[in-house]
Structures are given as C-alpha cells and as structure tokens.
Amino acid sequence: MSIGRLPRVLQCRTQTSLFLRPLVNAGLTQPYASWLIQQRAYVVPSTPPNGTPAQGTGTSRHAAHSHASHNSHTHGRHTKAPTPRIPPITPPQARHEIHEGTAVLNVPYNPPGGGPGPNIPGGGGGTFTNSPLLDAMLTTVVGLGAVFIGGIAYVKWYKKNVLVKIEEAFQPGYDPALELAKLHTSRKGPPRDFSDDDPNSLEDGEPWTEDLRRKEQDHIDDIIHGNEVGHYYMLLGPKGTGKGTMIFDAMAKCNADGVSMCDAHPDLEVFRLRLGKALNYEFNEDTQTGLFQRRDPREGGPALDIERAMNKLEKVALQQARVRQKPLVLIINNVHFFQNDEEGRNMLLQLQQKAEAWAASGILTMVFSSDDFWPFNVMRKNASRMHVLSIYDLNMKDSLKAIHKLRRRSGKPAADSEEVEQTLNLVGGRLSYLTKVGEAAKARQMLDMAEHLLEVEKGWLMSQIGLIPDCDDDVMDEQKWSSCSWLLLQEFVKEREKQESERDALRQERAKAREEAEKKGEVLEVEEEDDSELPLPAIPWWRCRQIMTRADFMEELDRLNIIAIDIKLNVRPDSNLILHAAQQVTNEEGFQELLDGVRDRIDEIESLHRTRELTFKDLDKGDMVRLAVDKRGSELLMTLRDDDDDDGGDDDDD
C-alpha cells in the first residue's frame, strides 16, 4: 500500500510531521515508513483525541495486511512469502492542515544534558546535576576559572621571563655595541724592515693596533670589570680624546661579562628603544596581556617606560650581586646628546637617582660619558657618590709613539722626526687627528694633511662665529655672540704668545748658562726638559665671564666644540687646531678694526632700539616747532607747580 495517504491519518501536535512530509513526497513505501516511525518511537493511538474512530488509516491497513500474510505463511506449506510491490510514485497533492488526520504522537522531551530517558532507547550524555540551569552555570564558572587561572599563570611566567632576558643581556659576549666594535677590522700593512735601534719601533709581541694604552686605562678597566664598588663615574673630555675607545678596550678584556652599554639620543623615544636593546627588554610590547585589559605600555611616555626598565634591572642586579659578588655595570655613552631643556635634565636626574641608589647598595655601577660640560654641571648639584675622570689629549711623548705605531700598522715608511714634530705642533695629541695624519702615504703628506685639517677647522670656525661689518639689526644677536666669542679667542691667543715668550726666555737662559760653563771648563748638569710642547692655555670660568660680558654664551661655544671646560672650571680651546685657526684669524691685518667696528655697530643698533620717536601732526609748510630741553629736573617741576598754584589763587580771588 502506498504511503502517500499517511499524512492524512496522522496529526501531530508537534512539528514532527513536518519531518515526515519530505519522505512522503519522495514516495517511500509503507515498510520504510513504518520502520522510520518505530525508530523515532512514534506512538499512534487507536482512537483519535476527538473520540471518532480512525477510518481508512494507513496503520490499520498495514496491520491487516501483515496479519493476512502471517496466516497464509502459517497454514500453507508451499506458500511463498509475498513480495512487496513498490507502487508507482504518486505526485504530491495540495493539502491543507484541515485535511490531516487527528492521530497524536507522544514524543518525549530530552533537554541538553538531561541524559537518557525511559522512552529514548540508546540515549546518553554526561551531566553533573539533574538541572540544566545548574549545568549551564557550572560550565560557565569552570570556563571563566580556567581563563582566569591561565591568565595569572601567563603573567607570572612573562614577568619571570623578562628578568631572565635582562639577565642574559649581561652574559659574556652579548652586548651589541661590543659586537660592532669587534667587527671593526683594519688591514694590516705588509711587513717592512725596521732598524733594530729604532726607539719608536714596536717590541716583540706588541699587538698591531692604532690605540695607545693611556694612564687612565687601568682605572677604567677596574670600573668596567666591577672592581670599583660604591661609586658611579663620569668621563668628561673633548670629542676625539679616546673615551669610547678606552671603554671598548675594557669591555673586550672581560668579553662584556656583566657589562651593558647604550648611547643617549635627543629624542627620548629613541633612547628608550636603545636602552631596551641594551637590556634585552621589550617594555611589555611583546606580551599578550592585552587580553586581560592591561594598560598600553606607551601610555605614560618614555620616562615612565625607562623607569619600568630600571625597576626590572634593579631586581636582576639584586639577584646577580649575590651570585657574582660584584656589581653589574651599565654605561650611558654621550649623555650630552640629551637636550639641555627641562625634559633632558629630568632624564639625567632620573638616571642619576638610580645611580646613587645602586652605588650605595653596591649592586650596579653606572658610567656616564660626555663631551660637553653642561651634564656635569646639572648632575653635580645632586651628586654625592659621583667621581669624575677628565680625559685630555696625549702629551708629546705619547703622541710620537702613537703616530709611529699607526704608520707601522698601515705599512707606511718611517717618518722624519722634524716632520713629525711639525705635524704634532699643529694637530696636538688628539687621537682622532693623529689617526688621520698617521696613515698618510708619505712622510711629507703628514704635514700636508695637518695643514689641510687646519684649513678645514678655520673655515668651520669662520662659518660659526664670523664677523659681519655694518650688519643689519636682524643679525644683531648673532653678531653680539660672535664678537664676544672672538674676544675670548683673542685672549687665548695672547696667553699662547705669553707661553711662547716664556719658553724662549727659558731657552736663552739655558743656552747662556751652558756657554758660561763651557768657558770655565765645567760640565753643567742641567736636566734636559722637552719644552717644545706647550699646554693649551687655560682661563678660569669667572674670568671668561668678565671677558665676554655674557655668561650664557659659554655653553653654546662648548656645544660647538670651540672651547672645552674641565671639572676645575678652567676653559681651554677645544684643540690645537682651534687655537692655531684663531691665531691666524686674529693676526690678520685689519682684524682688530673689524672687531671694534662690529661692536660699535651693535652699540648703535641698541641705541636706536632705545630711541623714541615723536611725531607732530597738523603742521603746514613753514610752521615751526620749538622744543626746549631743561635738565634742571625737580627744580623746574617745583617752579611750574608754584606758578600754577599762584594762577589758581588769583582766579579764586576774582
């Protein structure tokens, strides 16, 4: 029998009948439909809910047909089982809900997590309670607890990992600055034959290097290796004197064990990144704690991030001090790169406060280096454990040795002593200049290179503080600074001339004493001193203020590397090249007249700025204005007041 009429008999109160409609429309036979109903546990009552018997239902027909088939199979011996015929598929007919039957299906309700029921064979599922609401609440609490505990575990692991990474920054060989310094290689020159009696030749086993071990190197080695406890240090000296070279040499000896180094920068955001690179610290930028609504690490600015890094470094230093039994070392190079404003000075103060605390506890030693004087002047106000090392140029003896070592390293021939002396008289003992002149191809080219450096320095000096005759009032402030600077440089030139005259007088006295001793036949035992080297002239700070008549011009000259200031507040020319350039300029014909003319022009412009202009209106051609100036002052004022009083009294009497 076709099951096409099955939906007319069954009427489900639920939406289960909607599931059977596609099957009926597909033309399923009665056995398949009955099997499906049995699997879904549908129960079809014999009597509809309205009490009327079900007529012509597919179920009763199926039952009758099954009974007849059973009887025929039982009573007949050779009766074959009836082969079910598949009726042709009848197309679905349009029906309405009123055409459906009134049969009811009892479908048990199985909520999620409710477990197997009595009428649901094979049903199953895990549950903690018999209440779905309690199961949902328990699932939510367990999920949130897992997230919360996982977040706490991640934060603790991340904080510990940060300390481990900072500790790795002080392991041997990690420092990026030292790695860059190690990669600086220089080509060795071909071996040459040198006489054995050459006093400037290198000893056996002496390394090929352009650097010369200075007397300050031993002290710096002790500082970098952590042997100096209880203080922090500042290396102060002009640019090119070898401060950074000595630091790198000390770091190379210990392979940067317990040492880290970073360079300062005017932009504090850049300095923050450099400090993080030196400490192997990411400033919480690599964390996933944003899932837990943590604050943005850059929200507080670079100063707050640097303070966080210092706090992490302090924890690592406390742990390492117990293990290493000596402090860690943190080097801040070129602190003069900070801006000399409120933000830059606050950063210096922030670093200095940490340096003071760490030096007092002996867990970490900070080392600052600067080319300019103003960082020392700022830090000196709050310094109690700071030691300052002043780095100067090499003396003549060390300069001679250094230049010969430079030439031998580069494979150049030995230079004449006279040529070398003339070269050193121009460039002095500045290592940066010695490197340039020492690698000249020929001995004569050393002097040419020194003169070239002098011309370059002179041109740069004139471009910075050159005088402009008959200047306009727009450049009055610049010319005021330039004229005051030349007054100071002119005083340095006078001091150098005084040194030269004293040296010449001393030489004449020695020669005269030697001649008198030879006439008497005596041997004059006089200790020969090398008087060919003259130190750079120095003028005290207070006297420089008087010469320049302005106290605020000194810092700019120091920043431009025209002058250098030491910890004794003595002011010197920055280098021998600056001094020789100033000598050439001030000794030119007409320089004094030019300087006086510029200063007079500045006075005229300032007087014009102090002048007030009076304008008279309503004057025609031929009119005259008489202006009288009376300098009697208060006497004239009293006379005028008395006259006014007398005139007023007469009017009252009238």
Average pLDDT, integer, range 254-280:
93
CB 31 within 8 A of CB 87: no
User: 185: pLDDT confidence band, cut at 50, 70 and 90?
Assistant: very low
What is the number of other CB atoms lying within 10 angstroms of the CB of residue 410? 18
Both 360 and 459 in one domain: the answer is: no
DSSP annotation of 13 reads S
In a domain, 642, yes or no: no
Query: How are beta strands 232-236 and 386-390 bridged, if at all?
Result: parallel
Indicate the angle between helix axes 576-586 and 476-519, nearest 10 degrees.
100
Band (636; pLDDT cuts 50, 70, 90): low
Inter-helix orientation angle 443-465/576-586, to 10° = 70
Q: Which residues contact 315 (CB under 8 A, 6 or more apart)?
A: 163
**What is the CATH classification number for the domain harbouring 227?**
3.40.50.300
Q: Is residue 581 part of a domain?
A: no
Is 361 found in the same domain as 230? Answer: yes
Domain membership of residue 549 (yes or no) is no
Residues 273 and 418 in one domain: no
pLDDT band at 14 (very low <50, low <70, confident <90, very high): very low
Three-state DSSP class for residue 465? helix
Question: Is the pLDDT assigned to residue 173 strictly greater than 60?
Answer: yes
In this structure, the answer to whether residues 237 and 355 fall within a common structural domain is: yes
pLDDT digits (tens, 9 = 90+) for 380-395: 999 999 999 999 998 8
Q: How much is the pLDDT for 27?
A: 55
* Size of the chain in residues: 654
Q: What is the pLDDT of residue 315?
A: 94
200 within a domain of the structure (yes/no): no
How much of the chain exceeds pLDDT 90, in percent? 37
Task: Examine the pLDDT at 242 and tell me if it is beyond 80.
Answer: yes
Range of the domain at 442: 395-465
- Cα separation, 78 vs 618, whole angstroms: 151
How are beta strands 259-263 and 328-333 bridged, if at all? Answer: parallel
Q: Pick from 535, 513, 537: which is nearest to 524 by CA?
A: 513
From CA 125, how far away is CA 123, in angstroms rounded?
A: 7
Per-residue pLDDT, 200: 44
User: What is the structure's pLDDT at 295?
Assistant: 58
pLDDT tens digits for 572-631? 999 999 999 999 999 999 999 999 999 999 888 888 877 777 777 777 887 887 777 766
* Predicted confidence (pLDDT) per residue in 613-630, tens digit: 777 777 788 788 777 776
Structure tokens given for 507 = 């030489």
| CB neighbourhood size of 556 (10 A) | 14
For 490-540, how does the pLDDT look when each residue is reduced to its tens digit (9 = 90+)?
Answer: 999 999 999 999 988 888 888 888 788 777 777 656 555 556 678 899 999
Within 10 angstroms of residue 34's Cβ, the number of other Cβ atoms is 19
Question: What is the model's pLDDT at position 552?
Answer: 85
Domain assignment present for residue 471? The answer is no
pLDDT by residue (tens digit) across 45-71? Answer: 444 444 444 444 444 444 444 444 444
Domain boundary among 350, 375, 391: 391
Residue of 409, 404, 437 whose CA lies nearest to 208: 409
Q: Where are the alpha helices (DSSP H) in 428-475?
A: 431-438, 443-465
Closest CA to 281 of 164, 365, 179, 155: 164
In this structure, the answer to whether residues 221 and 342 fall within a common structural domain is yes
* 398 pLDDT more than 90: no
Domain end residue (candidates: 340, 373, 391): 391
**118: Cβ–Cβ under 8 A, 6 or more apart, which residues?**
108
pLDDT, average across residues 393-409: 84
- Mean predicted confidence (pLDDT) in 476-487: 91
Helix and strand counts by DSSP (H, E) for the chain: 22, 8
Long-range contacts made by residues 109-115, C-beta under 8 angstroms, separation at least 24?
none
pLDDT in tens, 188-218: 444 444 343 444 444 433 443 445 678 889 9
Which pLDDT score, from 0 to 100, does residue 397 have?
Answer: 86
Please write the tens of the pLDDT for every residue from 459-472. Answer: 999 999 999 988 88
The gap between the terminal CA atoms of the chain, to the nearest Å, is: 148
Model confidence at 79: pLDDT above 70? no
Between residues 473 and 141, the one the model is more confident about: 141
What are the strands of the beta sheet with 364-370, ordered from one edge? 259-263, 328-333, 364-370, 232-236, 386-390
Identify whether residues 157 and 301 lie together within a single domain: yes
Q: Are residues 327 and 364 in the same domain?
A: yes
User: Quick one: 407 and 311 in the same domain?
Assistant: no
170 in the same domain as 44:
no
Q: Cα-flanking dihedrals φ and ψ of residue 205, to 5°?
A: 85, -5
The pLDDT of 269-285, averaged and rounded, is: 90
* pLDDT, tens digit, 9 for 90 and up, residues 261-272: 999 999 999 999
Beta bridge partners, 259, equal 329
Same-domain check for residues 230 and 304: yes
411 in a structural domain: yes
Are 224 and 369 within one domain? yes
Does residue 576 sit within a domain? no
Q: Specify if 190 maps to a domain.
A: no
Q: Which of 418, 436, 465 is the last residue of a domain?
A: 465
Helical H runs in 554-610? Answer: 554-559, 576-586, 591-609
Query: Comparing C-alpha atoms, which of 587, 605, 609 is closest to residue 597?
Result: 605
Q: Which residue has the higher pLDDT, 155 or 127?
A: 155
Tokens 């030489």, residue located: 507
DSSP state of 234: E
Q: Please name the helix (run of DSSP H) or strand (run of DSSP E) that holds residue 139, with its range, or none.
A: helix 132-169
Please give the residue that has the higher pLDDT: either 456 or 647: 456
Residue pLDDT, tens place only, 318-374: 999 999 999 999 999 999 999 999 999 999 999 999 999 999 999 999 999 999 999
- Average pLDDT score, the chain: 77
Residue 9 near residue 101 (C-beta atoms within 8 A): yes
Residue 292 and residue 375 in one domain: yes
HSE at residue 178, side-chain half, CA atoms within 13 A, is 26
Name the domain count of the chain. Answer: 3
